[in-house]
């Protein structure tokens, strides 16, 4: 648990997801490294021992090389679930390692959970209490009432899908209701009704910079998780120009494959650091250009 001193209350209190993000943003750190650790793509030279050990050692090497350049880490649950109990053990061990070694860095589970309220109670317990994540992505399709078990967790980050990065997102997300695309209606619902605990964020893909600009206007300074940079070919300059809030904050710029699989050789940790550093420098350069 990451703590800070509260002068007003004269005691040490835990920092929530948003507060820890803001601390990283103050240091001009906006990259979210996606630890999408597909076992089949992990360099063969470290595939020694059980699956959980291999995935954890791969993640650990990446984390140790990039921790000073990131605002967060995100793990796509499917890559871990695909490996059964050993994959889930690697997931838990990775979160525990970050909490112990770099507790100031928030950790996101990309799970896109969506179900009725009673089932979501189980999800929140598993994701936040058992696995130890600081934030999770959720699907808005079942409505705010169903999401209450997530939204009630004031200290956590609830990241709602608004405009995803995949090419087929238009099929439903751009459908018009009373003249407005559905993604805009969802963004407005998050900002006006679901964010009572100031713990919401949204997902908007870097592959849609125009929509990103519109969503930023709707939600104000709420954090935006922005996937699609790197392997998906997202527009970095458009992302920063349209995605930044006040003080250039508010961006969680995710890159996964372009960083963690930058090399398949023994130099993969160093290659991951160089890829992260290059992205960091590019972000700062674009920020300065549009300051």
DSSP 126: I
Which residues on adjacent β-strands are paired with residue 12? 5
Catalytic member of 112, 241, 270, 277: 112
Sequence-distant (6+) residues with CB within 8 A of 20 are 2, 104, 105, 106, 134
Q: How far is Cα 114 from Cα 166, in angstroms, rounded to an integer?
A: 19
Q: Is 112 a catalytic residue?
A: yes
Query: What would you measure as the largest C-alpha separation in the chain, in angstroms?
Result: 57
| HSE-CB for 89 with a 13 A CA cutoff | 10
Query: Helices marked H in the chain — which ranges?
Result: 17-26, 51-66, 77-81, 84-101, 117-124, 144-151, 170-173, 182-189, 209-219, 236-243, 257-260, 268-289
Q: How far is Cα 106 from Cα 98, in angstroms, rounded to an integer?
A: 9
Q: Which residues are catalytic?
A: 112
């Amino acid at each position: 648990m990451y703590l800070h001193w509260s002068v007003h209350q004269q005691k040490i209190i835990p920092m929530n997801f948003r507060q820890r993000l803001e601390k990283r943003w103050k240091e001009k750190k906006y990259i979210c490294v996606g630890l999408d650790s597909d076992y089949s793509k992990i360099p063969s030279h470290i595939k020694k021992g059980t699956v959980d050990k291999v995935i954890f050692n791969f993640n650990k090497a990446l984390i140790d090389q990039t921790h000073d350049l990131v605002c967060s880490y995100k793990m796509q649950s499917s890559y871990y679930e695909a490996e059964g109990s050993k994959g889930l053990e690697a997931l838990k061990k990775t979160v525990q390692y970050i909490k112990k070694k770099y507790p100031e860095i928030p950790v996101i589970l990309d799970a896109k959970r969506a179900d009725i309220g009673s089932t979501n109670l189980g999800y929140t317990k598993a994701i936040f209490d058992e696995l130890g994540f600081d934030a999770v992505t959720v699907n808005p399709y079942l409505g705010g009432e169903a999401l209450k078990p997530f939204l009630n967790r004031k200290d956590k980050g609830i990241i709602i899908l608004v405009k995803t990065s995949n090419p087929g997102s238009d099929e439903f997300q751009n459908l018009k209701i009373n003249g407005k695309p559905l993604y805009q209606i969802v963004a407005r619902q998050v900002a006006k009704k679901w964010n009572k605990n100031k713990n919401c964020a949204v997902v908007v893909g870097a592959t849609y910079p125009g929509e990103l600009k519109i969503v930023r206007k709707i939600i104000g300074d709420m954090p935006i998780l922005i996937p699609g940079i790197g392997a998906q070919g997202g527009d970095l300059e458009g992302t920063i120009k349209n995605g930044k809030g006040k003080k250039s904050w508010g961006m969680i710029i995710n890159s996964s494959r372009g960083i963690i699989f930058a090399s398949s050789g023994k130099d993969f940790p160093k290659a991951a650091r160089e890829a992260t550093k290059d992205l960091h420098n590019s972000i700062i350069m674009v920020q300065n250009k549009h300051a």
